[in-house]
Amino acid sequence: MALHVATALAGGAAQDAAGAIIKELGAQLGAHQPRLVVVFASTQQPLEAVLPPISKAYPQAVVLGSSTAGEFTERGDRKGHVSALAVSGDVGVSAGLGRGLGADADAAVRTAAAGLAPLDPTRPFRTALMLLDPLAGVSEEVTLLAAAHLGEKVPLAGGAAGDDLKMTRTFVALGNQVAHDALVLAALDTSEPLGLGVNHGHTPLSQTFTVTKAHGATVETINNRPAWDVWVEATQQDARARGMDPATLPAADVGAFLLLYEAGLDTGDGPLKIRAPLSKAPNGAISFACGIPQGASIRITRSVAQAQVDSARAAAAMAKKALRGKTPGGALVFDCICRNLILKDGFASAVDAIHKELGSVPVAGFETYGEVALNAGDMSGFHNTTTVVLAFPR
Partner 1 sequence: MVDNSTSLRLPRLELSKLMSQTMGLEKADAMVAEAMTALQLSTADVNQEEALRILEHIAAQPGLVGISARFAKGRVHLRWSNG
Q: How far is the CB of 141 from partner 1 (least distance, A)?
A: 5
Considering just the CA atoms, what is the radius of gyration of the chain in Å? 20
Q: 148-164: string of b/e by CB count within 10 Å (b at 16+)?
A: ebbeeebbbbbbbbbbb
Alpha helices for the chain (secondary structure H): 14-29, 47-57, 105-113, 139-150, 227-241, 254-260, 305-321, 337-343, 347-357
End-to-end CA distance of the chain: 10
- Alpha-carbon torsion, ordered 310, 312, 316, 317, to 10 deg: 20
| Residue 185 vs 342, nearer CB to partner 1 | 185
- Alpha-carbon torsion, ordered 300, 306, 312, 318, to 10 deg: -90
Q: How far is the CB of 163 from partner 1 (least distance, A)?
A: 24
| Residue 15 vs 267, nearer CB to partner 1 | 267
Pairing status of strand 286-288 against strand 297-303: unpaired
Binding site for partner 1 (CB under 8 A): 140-141, 144-145, 147-148, 151-152, 210, 265-269, 273, 291, 293-298, 377, 379-381
| Residue 225 vs 356, nearer CB to partner 1 | 225
Q: How far is the CB of 348 from partner 1 (least distance, A)?
A: 31
Q: How far is the CB of 130 from partner 1 (least distance, A)?
A: 15
Strands across the sheet with 371-374, in order? 91-99, 182-190, 125-132, 156-160, 371-374, 381-383
| Residue 118 vs 268, nearer CB to partner 1 | 268
| Residue 261 vs 392, nearer CB to partner 1 | 261
Q: How far is the CB of 229 from partner 1 (least distance, A)?
A: 21
Q: How far is the CB of 297 from partner 1 (least distance, A)?
A: 4
d(CA 39, CA 54): 9
d(CA 81, CA 321): 31
| Residue 141 vs 192, nearer CB to partner 1 | 141
Closest CA to 11 of 57, 55, 72, 99: 72
Distances (CA, A) of 169 to 106, 132, 164, 172, 368: 21, 12, 10, 10, 13
| Residue 297 vs 306, nearer CB to partner 1 | 297
Q: How far is the CB of 295 from partner 1 (least distance, A)?
A: 4
| Residue 13 vs 379, nearer CB to partner 1 | 379
DSSP of 260-328, one letter per residue?
Answer: HS-EEE--SSSSPEEE-EEEE-TTS-EEESS---TT-EEEEEEE-HHHHHHHHHHHHHHHHHTTTTPPE
Q: How far is the CB of 261 from partner 1 (least distance, A)?
A: 18
Q: How far is the CB of 329 from partner 1 (least distance, A)?
A: 30
| Residue 62 vs 144, nearer CB to partner 1 | 144
